[in-house]
């Protein structure tokens, strides 16, 4: 048995994972986001204790992570964390091997081994939620890049001098394909809306409301433009889309598949599949448990 832990903005979720990638037991607790690192480290030790015997522990954490040394450099959800040697600290206390990776990389690894990525060799995984996260698996391995930031598509430029982004620059892709974009476009299409979030728009779309269908068409179009470049560059066999917004299903995937055809050269059209994540919220736990 292995333990996989997913440190999210709201909750820390830990699971005991068997050799076939099944979560057989799970515990969770609120993320002590604004506290000193010691607090979260104690929490992780306590969650591991509750799950019982396991040969190893893997952790997926948001932000910039040094995968090789298991150091959390900076994390948007953990403002007091800076260069925390999480792997070394936990190995000392747990007396078991510990691996630490970026959360989207953990999700990608989980999908690759046990989910929508089974049988793939070169794939891109994106998570669509508050932002756009990305991770690459190339030749069957997680591709980290020079500073372990490979796959971070969300902050490449979509529109020059466009909308400002929390990362500090303007016009980032995630402002045009993720949560804020859905809310903004929905308000443009339907100014009568009082409350709006991606789920409300998806629900209206599934009921056949035209404005809501058009919102997801625009998101699919924008996403296709971004993914087209990735397909031309990497010639992947699979693109997996996960995260809260992927739950819209065909409302998002149909326009995305339609639009992507026009973003790539004809010879590439039949070379890849676009799939919805198969493991949902467990992908991060499962992938973290199997980090190598």
Binding region for Zn ion (CB under 5 A): 155, 165, 167, 172
Nearer to Zn ion, 155 or 275 (CB): 155
At CA 163, angle to CA 80 and CA 182, rounded to 5?
Answer: 90
- Least Cβ distance, residue 274 to Zn ion (angstroms): 24
CB of 131 to Zn ion, least distance (A): 8
Cβ closer to Zn ion: 176 or 216? 176
Which CB atom, from 76 or from 280, has the smaller least distance to Zn ion?
A: 76
| Nearest CB to Zn ion, comparing residues 92 and 159 | 159
Task: Determine the Cα–Cα distance for residues 12 and 45; give it in Å rounded to an integer.
Answer: 12
Please state the closest distance from residue 175 (CB atom) to Zn ion, in A. 7
Tokens, residue 154? 């969300």
Closest approach, Cβ 269 to Zn ion, in A, equals 30
Length of the chain: 292
Cβ distance to Zn ion smaller for residue 100 or 172: 172
Distance of closest approach, residue 191 Cβ to Zn ion, in angstroms:
27
In degrees rounded to 5, what are phi and psi of residue 68? -70, -40
């Amino acid at each position: 048995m292995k333990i996989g832990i997913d440190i999210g903005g709201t909750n820390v979720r830990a699971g005991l994972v068997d050799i076939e990638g099944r979560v057989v037991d799970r515990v969770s607790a609120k993320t002590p986001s604004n506290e000193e690192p010691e607090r979260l480290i104690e929490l992780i030790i306590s969650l591991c204790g509750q799950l019982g015997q396991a040969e190893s522990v893997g952790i997926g954490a948001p932000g910039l992570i040094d995968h090789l040394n298991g150091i959390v450099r900076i994390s948007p959800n953990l403002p007091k964390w800076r260069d925390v040697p999480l792997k070394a600290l936990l190995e000392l206390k747990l007396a078991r091997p510990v691996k630490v990776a970026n959360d989207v990389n953990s999700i990608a690894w989980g999908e690759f081994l046990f989910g929508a990525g089974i049988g793939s060799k070169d794939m891109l995984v994106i998570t669509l939620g508050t932002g756009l996260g990305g991770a690459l698996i190339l030749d069957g391995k997680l591709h980290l890049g020079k500073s372990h930031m490979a796959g971070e598509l969300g902050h490449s430029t979509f529109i020059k001098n466009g909308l400002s982004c929390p990362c500090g620059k303007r016009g980032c892709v995630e402002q045009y394909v993720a949560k804020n974009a859905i809310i903004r476009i929905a308000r443009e299409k339907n100014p009568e809306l009082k409350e709006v979030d991606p789920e409300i728009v998806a629900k209206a779309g599934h009921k056949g409301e035209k404005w809501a269908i058009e919102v997801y068409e625009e998101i699919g179009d924008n996403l296709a433009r971004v993914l087209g470049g990735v397909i031309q560059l990497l010639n992947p066999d699979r693109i997996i889309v996960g995260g809260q917004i992927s739950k819209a299903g065909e409302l998002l995937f149909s326009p995305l598949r339609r639009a992507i055809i026009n973003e790539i050269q004809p010879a590439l059209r039949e070379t890849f599949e676009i799939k919805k994540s198969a493991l949902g919220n467990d992908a991060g736990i499962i992938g973290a448990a199997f980090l190598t």
